[in-house]
Homo-oligomer: A and B are copies of this chain.
């Protein structure tokens, strides 16, 4: 713990940081509300201009009929899966072994909805068409996460997506998009959000990843699906009297950043190349397909905490605030590029990576 704190501490004292949009502090809210008229009325249990306007914008973006704003993606996705299971009277869904539902939700899908998850494919790669075709159990719904976050944000090709979609439609399997970071992969696919979403029956998007809002999620689909989702939202305790603090922020930062997703993607490729040029360092994927990737070091976590803490103090550039032990002699962490990268002076950046390379060589 002391080591990790040391890494976090030196990170917090740096002048520049490689990843993110900046601190998650109250200023994020204040900035979003700065130009909002105090007389703007709150939404009220899902009704009102502020929520309806944003929902319409998100429905249009994803090319779906209707959208509903949720306090969280956890809630939105469990509900989407429940609706598709109920429709088919089959309480079984399929998703990747490292899906958010599998590893971060305390088994909510099972404990609350009594839905069984069939883990599909290998945890170290994205789901392939073959994985879907070879599914031995009948499922009501397949959830695909684009990009697959826990393996560095990897993607199937768009052609694979199209084939999986066709296959699922043929077999009557509903397709739910875990698009927490959907907007961040559009530059790689060279597609609009609607073109990707067209392959799916229902879509979830986060408003606080690439968009950088405070919290919240959008679920889109056909009118019957969304009408149902609103009933379940109330059952879950998600139909708050007021969701506007999240909606106003989501809308504000959406407008600020929707045009910057390609910038973040290009920056991620540039930064990954800098890491990969260092001895004993590799990114996953080697060439990013979104604004995110993982960095793997061929050294123990203990060694790397010491090395990176020193490097951060020496260079003033925040590289990592935490590390995850992978093996005895390897560790990794995640980076998602945002507004901050553009502010790092290129010369300082280059020097920092030269230093990282040298230090890694000394260690090996």
Which residues from chain A sit less than 8 Å from chain B, CB to CB? 23-30, 33, 36-42, 44, 70-76, 78, 105-108, 111-114, 208, 214-215, 231-232, 234-246, 248
Contact A42 B71 (CB under 8 A): no
Least CB distance, A279 to chain B, in whole angstroms = 34
Contact A41 B24 (CB under 8 A): yes
**Known: A106-B235, A112-B236, A215-B242. Contact between A26 and B72, CB under 8 A?**
no
Contact B106 A234 (CB under 8 A): yes
Cβ of A41: which chain B residues have Cβ within 8 Å of it?
Answer: 23-26
Contact B24 A38 (CB under 8 A): no
Contact of A39 among B25, B37, B72 (CB under 8 A): B25
Contact B72 A238 (CB under 8 A): yes
> Which residue of B has the minimal Cβ distance to A244?
B26
Contact of A24 among B33, B73, B78, B242 (CB under 8 A): B242
Q: What are 18 A-B contacts defined by CB distance under 8 Å?
A: A23-B39, A26-B40, A27-B38, A28-B42, A71-B71, A71-B237, A71-B238, A72-B238, A72-B239, A74-B237, A108-B234, A108-B236, A112-B236, A214-B242, A214-B245, A236-B238, A238-B238, A245-B246
Contact A24 B44 (CB under 8 A): yes
Cβ of A245: which chain B residues have Cβ within 8 Å of it?
Answer: 29, 214, 245-246
**Which one of A76, A232, A238 has the greatest number of beta carbons of chain B within 10 Å?**
A238
**Known: A231-B106, A245-B245. Contact between A25 and B38, CB under 8 A?**
yes
Inter-chain CA distance A180–B70, complex, in Å, is 23
> Which residue of B has the minimal Cβ distance to A74?
B237
Contact B24 A39 (CB under 8 A): no
Cβ of A232: which chain B residues have Cβ within 8 Å of it?
Answer: 106
Cβ of A112: which chain B residues have Cβ within 8 Å of it?
Answer: 112-113, 235-236
Contact B240 A72 (CB under 8 A): yes
Inter-chain CA distance A28–B36, complex, in Å, is 12
Cβ of A37: which chain B residues have Cβ within 8 Å of it?
Answer: 26
Contact B75 A238 (CB under 8 A): yes
Contact B74 A234 (CB under 8 A): yes
Least CB distance, A68 to chain B, in whole angstroms = 13
Inter-chain CA distance A169–B28, complex, in Å, is 48
Cβ of A39: which chain B residues have Cβ within 8 Å of it?
Answer: 23, 25-27
Cβ of A215: which chain B residues have Cβ within 8 Å of it?
Answer: 240-243
> Which residue of B has the minimal Cβ distance to A240?
B215
- In the A-B complex, the 6 residue pairs with the smallest Cβ-Cβ separation, listed nearest first, are A75-B237, A27-B38, A108-B235, A245-B245, A74-B237, A24-B42
Contact A208 B72 (CB under 8 A): no
Cβ of A71: which chain B residues have Cβ within 8 Å of it?
Answer: 71, 237-238, 240
Contact A29 B24 (CB under 8 A): no
Contact B42 A33 (CB under 8 A): no
Inter-chain CA distance A253–B26, complex, in Å, is 18
**Known: A108-B236, A237-B70. Contact between A40 and B25, CB under 8 A?**
yes
Contact A234 B26 (CB under 8 A): no
Inter-chain CA distance A236–B77, complex, in Å, is 11
